[in-house]
Structure 1
Amino acid sequence: MDLQKPTAEPTAEPSVQPSASGGRAPEGCLVVAIRLPVRIVVLVLVVPVRMAWDLLVVAARFLRDTVLRPFGRALLRLGKVLFVLPLIGLWRYVLTPAGKALAWLGHVLLVVPALWLYRYVLTPLGQGVAWLARTAGAGLGWVYARVLTPVGHALAWLARGIGAVLAAVGTGSYTAVTWLLRYLVVVPARWLQTWILAPVGRAVAWCALGVGRFLALLVSGVGALYWTARILVVLPAVALWRWVLAPVGRVLAVVAREVGDALGHAWRIAGRLSLTVGRFLGTLLRWIFVEPVRWVYRTVLTPVGHVVRDVVLRPAARAARSVGRTTRQALAAARETARQARADVRQLLFGKPPQPAAVGRREPSTGEARTLGSSTTALTKD
């Protein structure tokens, strides 16, 4: 691997060097002037907060590990014992058998009667209704074909005859009907159009023209108001935004960005400081308390404990075991003596108890030996 960077060949065109901040735009003097005091102030303010935060985190973790987690496990087990197991038992031994019993009852009381009703009542009834409907349809078709159709043909023939008669009568009265239509319909309609509808239409057209002119004047006024508002409101607002608010916003954005970066750096530095202080305090406590206690336990208490165990505890244990053994033997001898004394007193008062009579055993005694001619079975025994 080549560790030396190759020298760049000179080019005619100047190259743009990247900034040191990872591709960010070059920063001005205002940013540089704001950054250092802001970071110092923020660091001074954030370090106590971060140390207090780390202390709270350590205390919360200790509380969680020593109190909350065992308490939560205890609550979980208590809830399981008080709620989950009773609910499981209720479901398994009460609700499931009850549901099965209800399902069986529903099948016996509802499904089976419904199937029987459908199979032996509704199906024959429906088939009978369908047969009646087919029969009624056939009867209606016969009535339509044999009765209604001839009657309809007769009525149509009668209507054609009546129409022919009326046509013959109407040819003679055509002139009278035309005269009546002219003087009852055409003349009144022409008079209505000339003296009512035409003046009303002209008045409506004049009103519409006036409304149009008024709307044109209103639009012209709105345009004047628009230009007035543009000159008096919009242009000053644009100038205020462009020359005052935008530069102030850029400055505030730079300040906010720098404050945010300073907070991040200060928080990380405070974390390092808090970690260092915590490790120092831990080491100090370990060397002040833990190591002396370990040394005392290892070099003083452990040998003393071994000496006490070997010199005092073990001989005392052996002596206690021997005393206990002797005491048990003495108690056993005393119990045996008391038992024998009770037996002697009972024998003196009541005599010897009767001995049980000897019963012939089916098996030979242990002193007799078996021979070829003897047997212990019931079939071959002498």
Structure 2
Amino acid sequence: MDLEKPATEAPQPERQRERQPEGCLVVAIRIPVRIVVLVLVVPVRMVWDALVAGGRLLTDAVLRPLGRALAWVARAVLVWPFVGLWRYVVVPLGKALGWLGNVLVVVPLVWLFRYVLTPLGQGIAWVFRGIGAGLGWLYARVLTPVGHGLLWVLRGLGAGIAAMGSGVYAVAAWLARYLFVVPALWLYEWILAPVGRGIAWCARGVVWLVGMVITGIGFVLYWVLRLLLVLPAIGLWRWVLTPVGRVLAVIGREVGAALGHAWRIAGHISLAVGRFLGTLLRWIFVEPVRWVYRTVLTPVGHVVRDAVLRPAAEAARSVGRVTRQVLTAARDSARQARADFRRMLFGESEEERPKAVPVPRREPGGADGRTLGSSTTALTKD
């Protein structure tokens, strides 16, 4: 009994299993092409990344704020005036014109239709109904009997004419048969039909002869063209163009793969260079500016805020409060002076006269009688 497990093959990745063996020509072309392409693509990729970063910075710092400002200006110059014109001029004017049109046109037309045209139309309809009733009576009582009589007379005349015409038709048919039809049939059967058959047989022979000539010419032209054009073209395609195309396809595929690898490697190189330049810029410019802002400008700003700006703001608020109080007192004094002057000239108005306040009565207002459960003394009240 075998207790050892059989050795299993290690699973290969999909790419290695699907990858087919390559020739020496592909390997010989791949390495130089990748080196040359990498040398050519790295500067292009770095310039491209620099342009992309500059374009993003330009978009975020200049174009987008400029576009928002232009949009706001366009909205303020073009949209809002038209909105105000539509809302406060066109809409009220349209409503006013609609009201005027309703009052001056629709209401008179409705009144004219309801009280003039409708009764007039009903009267005209009644007149036409009367005329139609009269015409119906005339048709039923006069024209219908007269038409029936005329139809009976015409039917009799038609029967007589038909009897006369049948004899004439029989004679004309016999003459046409023996003067035209019988000679025409004899001419067709004994003269035209044999001549037509002979002409058709000759035409078929000519068509067969022409077809054979054309077939022979086509066969000769086919083999001439095949020997002169088709076979050389097939040999050129099979023994020259196909190998050259395969070589060019291998070179193009390797150049494309090399461009892809070079572009990705150039991206990593450009990223490293960009990070180095960013770190250098941060340590040369950003960190000193940040240190100056934190160490120098922030304490100075706090001192200016606490020693100058806040006292100035408090003083300004105090001055504003005093000014508002003075203006309020001046308005109250002016209002009181106007009220006193008005009372001096015209007397007190009804609103300014003091109203009499009713004094509560000291006597009890209720007239209820005393009961067994009630009492008026303080000791026995509930």
**CA shift at 1:242, angstroms?**
3.9
2:282 match: 286
What does residue range 339-350 of structure 1 map to in structure 2 within 5 Å? none
CA, structure 1 residues 288+168, in 2 after alignment: closer, same or farther (shift >3 Å)? closer
1:257 match: 253
**CA shift at 1:48, angstroms?**
0.3
Give the distance between the partners of 2:61 and 2:251, measured in 1 at CA.
45
Is the contact made by 1:19 and 1:25 (CA closer than 8 Å) also made in structure 2?
A: no
2:91 match: 96
* Greater mean alpha carbon deviation, residues 192-201 or residues 67-76: 192-201
Is the contact made by 1:47 and 1:270 (CA closer than 8 Å) also made in structure 2?
A: yes
TM-score (norm 2): 0.61
TM-score (norm 1): 0.61
**Pair 1:48 & 2:48 matched:** no
Is the contact made by 1:38 and 1:258 (CA closer than 8 Å) also made in structure 2?
A: yes
Code of the aligned partner of 2:270: S
Q: In the alignment, which of 158, 163, 178 is matched to residue 153 of structure 2?
A: 158
Give the distance between the partners of 2:102 and 2:140, measured in 1 at CA.
53
**Pair 1:245 & 2:241 matched:** yes
Code of the aligned partner of 1:104: W
Is the contact made by 1:38 and 1:262 (CA closer than 8 Å) also made in structure 2?
A: yes
Give the distance between the partners of 1:264 and 1:142, measured in 2 at CA.
103
Is the contact made by 1:19 and 1:26 (CA closer than 8 Å) also made in structure 2?
A: no
For each residue in 1:324-375, what CA deviation from the matched residue of structure 2 results, as whole angstroms up to 9, or x when unmatched?
Answer: xxxxxxxxxxxxxxxxxxxxxxxxxxxxxxxxxxxxxxxxxxxxxxxxxxxx
Q: In the alignment, which of 53, 75, 78 is matched to residue 58 of structure 1?
A: 53
CA, structure 1 residues 110+192, in 2 after alignment: closer, same or farther (shift >3 Å)? farther
2:373 match: none
CA, structure 1 residues 33+157, in 2 after alignment: closer, same or farther (shift >3 Å)? same
2:63 match: 68
CA, structure 1 residues 240+144, in 2 after alignment: closer, same or farther (shift >3 Å)? farther
Give the distance between the partners of 2:170 and 2:51, measured in 1 at CA.
116
CA, structure 1 residues 240+154, in 2 after alignment: closer, same or farther (shift >3 Å)? farther
Gaps of 5+ in 1: 1-5, 322-376
Give the distance between the partners of 1:242 and 1:114, measured in 2 at CA.
92
What does residue range 288-327 of structure 1 map to in structure 2 within 5 Å? 288-291=284-287
**CA shift at 1:262, angstroms?**
1.7
**CA shift at 1:46, angstroms?**
0.7
Code of the aligned partner of 1:285: L
CA, structure 1 residues 302+153, in 2 after alignment: closer, same or farther (shift >3 Å)? closer
SS at match of 2:149: helix
**CA shift at 1:266, angstroms?**
1.3
Q: Which has the higher contact order (CA 8 A, sep 6+)?
A: 2
1:116 match: 111
Give the distance between the partners of 1:102 and 1:281, measured in 2 at CA.
71
For each residue in 1:3-57, what CA deviation from the matched residue of structure 2 results, as whole angstroms up to 9, or x when unmatched?
Answer: xxx97658xxxx9966645744444433333222221111111100111112222
Code of the aligned partner of 1:282: G
**CA shift at 1:102, angstroms?**
2.6
For each residue in 1:272-316, what CA deviation from the matched residue of structure 2 results, as whole angstroms up to 9, or x when unmatched?
Answer: 1111112112222333444455567777x579x87xx79xx97xx
Code of the aligned partner of 1:281: L
Code of the aligned partner of 2:153: L
Give the distance between the partners of 1:140 and 1:125, measured in 2 at CA.
23
CA, structure 1 residues 86+178, in 2 after alignment: closer, same or farther (shift >3 Å)? closer
What does residue range 130-141 of structure 1 map to in structure 2 within 5 Å? 130-131=125-126, 134-141=129-136
CA, structure 1 residues 269+167, in 2 after alignment: closer, same or farther (shift >3 Å)? closer
For each residue in 1:250-289, what CA deviation from the matched residue of structure 2 results, as whole angstroms up to 9, or x when unmatched?
Answer: 3333322322222222112111111111211222233344
Give the distance between the partners of 1:94 and 1:238, measured in 2 at CA.
83
Give the distance between the partners of 2:171 and 2:293, measured in 1 at CA.
144
Give the distance between the partners of 2:195 and 2:134, measured in 1 at CA.
67
Code of the aligned partner of 2:90: L
CA, structure 1 residues 47+225, in 2 after alignment: closer, same or farther (shift >3 Å)? same
Aligned CA RMSD, in angstroms, stands at 4.4
